[in-house]
């Protein structure tokens, strides 16, 4: 029965891994710039056929960016901006580019005024390098941005509009032109546009939910079941099956979560969460060891069973403790998801309270049984449940 259980778990894992690892290639990744510039992070912005590419250097808080308009017409201007004052046009720190009537490409910086004026001027941060390129129908603004901490994760806006008499004029405000706002985090690579997360953000959320539910909730619940339910005689051997179901389904979902994490890591080599990654690999190894150890479990009365129990409990508790630590590491990486952290802390407090109450109840039952056992010694012999609780508690 255990062997078939293990086989089922391994099968479901393979299935889930293949479900989550197969993912569509991002088209912005394949783009080759005319100057062969390479960027570690990029996102397609669905509005106006644009994409944003960048390398971020934490050491000097500098980002090299490329903003590309796919299929640009030379009768239009294009612009991309950061706006620390919010997801709107006014106050945007913008980079603008267009083809002048003399046939030269022109790009400049501007702080967009309340009325939408875009006269050239310095930004609130330095832009030491700014160039524009128009090749193969794509117009791209290349820039180096010397960011400040408030600009690392902020609103971004992008726009396109017509040239009138060779100068930029009012852009449409409906359709895609009215939806081209979002957020951008240079450090984590997360981008949204028009309130929608990009596929990578959605993958991160899937990764977070799978791991928090499996390693962070199902497994601790399984441990609570194993530790406390077996004390209640009425439950009988059901505790074992409940425990096995929690841990195996937790492991199956957890492996899928782990695989999505590995995939996220390999998709953005420039953004690494070393501690999170290493803890994740350790937890996965310990969890797998735990599943494999089921195959070697000695019979209950075997002389090595005690050592197996000690081993099983040590690895089990270690895995869950490391998992909880790593889930918090993950929340810190997903800086926008503060509510998830709060929800998970709520779950932990609930599980902790349940465990404390059950611990107290268990001790009461054990002490009561001991008393009954010693007074009934002659009649009943040793209380099997009591001694088992003492052994495992």
Ligand X SMILES: *[C@@H]1O[C@H](CO)[C@@H](O)[C@H](O)[C@H]1NC(C)=O
Minimal CA–CA distance to 287: which of 230, 246, 229, 328? Answer: 246
Span interacting with ligand X, options 22-30, 87-95, 161-169, 238-246, rule CB under 6 A: 22-30
Q: 176 or 359: whose CB is closer to ligand X?
A: 176
Instruction: Mark residues 159-198: x for contact with ligand X by CB under 6 A, - for none.
Output: -----------------x----------------------
Residue 235 CB, nearest distance to ligand X (Å)? 53
Span interacting with ligand X, options 127-135, 241-249, 268-276, 289-297, rule CB under 6 A: 127-135
Stretch (H or E) spanning 191: strand 191-193
Are 175 and 160 in contact by the 8 Å Cβ rule? The answer is no
When asked if residue 24 is in the footprint of ligand X (CB under 6 A), the reply is no
- For 12, how many CA atoms within 13 A lie in the half-sphere containing its CB? 14
Neighbours of 48 (CB within 10 A): 21
The only residue of 75, 85, 129, 372 in contact with ligand X, by rule CB under 6 A? 129
When asked if residue 49 is in the footprint of ligand X (CB under 6 A), the reply is yes
Minimal CA–CA distance to 163: which of 80, 105, 89, 83? Answer: 105
Minimal CA–CA distance to 214: which of 244, 249, 243? Answer: 249
Q: 235 or 265: whose CB is closer to ligand X?
A: 265
Q: Give the count of residues interacting with ligand X (CB under 6 A).
A: 20
Residue 87: phi and psi, rounded to 5, are -80, 65
Q: Which residue has the tokens 């050239």?
A: 120
Cα dihedral 330/331/332/333 (nearest 10): 50
Report 103-122 residues binding ligand X (CB under 6 A): 122
Instruction: Mark residues 70-99: x for contact with ligand X by CB under 6 A, - for none.
Output: -x----------------------------
Going by the annotation, the residues of the binding site for heme b are 207, 243, 276, 312
Binding site for ligand X (CB under 6 A): 25, 27, 30, 35-37, 48-49, 57, 59-60, 62, 71, 122, 128-129, 131, 142, 144, 176
């Amino acid at each position: 029965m255990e062997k078939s259980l293990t086989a089922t778990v391994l099968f479901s894992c393979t299935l889930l891994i293949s479900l989550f690892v197969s993912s569509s290639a991002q088209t912005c990744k394949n783009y080759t710039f005319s100057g062969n510039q390479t960027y570690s992070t990029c996102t397609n912005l669905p509005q106006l056929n644009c994409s944003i590419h960048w390398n971020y250097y934490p050491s000097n808080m500098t980002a090299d960016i490329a903003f590309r308009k796919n299929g640009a017409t030379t009768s239009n201007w294009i612009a991309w901006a950061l706006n620390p004052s919010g997801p709107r046009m006014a106050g945007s720190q913008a980079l603008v580019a267009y083809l002048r009537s003399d046939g030269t490409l022109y790009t400049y910086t501007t702080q967009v005024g309340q009325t939408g004026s875009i006269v050239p001027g310095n930004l609130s941060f330095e832009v030491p390098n700014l160039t524009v390129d128009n090749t193969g129908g794509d117009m791209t603004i290349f820039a180096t941005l010397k960011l400040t901490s408030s600009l690392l994760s902020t609103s971004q806006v992008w726009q396109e509009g017509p040239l009138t008499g060779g100068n930029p004029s009012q852009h449409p405000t409906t359709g895609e032109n009215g939806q081209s706002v979002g957020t951008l985090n240079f450090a984590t690579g997360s981008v949204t546009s028009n309130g929608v997360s990009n596929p990578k953000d959605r993958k991160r959320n899937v990764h977070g939910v799978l791991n928090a539910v499996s390693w962070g909730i199902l497994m601790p619940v399984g441990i609570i079941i194993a530790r406390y339910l077996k004390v209640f005689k009425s439950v009988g051997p059901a505790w074992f099956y409940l425990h096995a179901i929690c841990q195996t389904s937790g492991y199956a979902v957890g492996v899928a979560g782990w695989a999505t994490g590995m995939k996220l890591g390999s998709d953005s080599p420039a953004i690494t969460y070393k501690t999170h990654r290493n803890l994740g690999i350790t937890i996965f190894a310990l969890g797998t060891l735990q599943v494999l150890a089921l195959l070697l479990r000695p019979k209950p009365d075997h002389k090595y069973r005690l050592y197996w129990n000690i081993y099983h409990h040590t690895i089990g508790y270690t895995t869950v403790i490391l998992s909880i630590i790593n889930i918090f590491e993950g929340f810190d990486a997903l800086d926008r998801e503060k509510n998830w952290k709060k929800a998970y802390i709520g779950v932990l407090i609930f599980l902790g309270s349940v465990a404390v109450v059950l611990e107290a109840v268990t001790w009461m039952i054990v002490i009561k049984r001991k008393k009954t056992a010693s007074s009934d010694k002659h009649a009943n012999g040793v209380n099997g449940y009591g001694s088992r609780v003492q052994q495992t508690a």
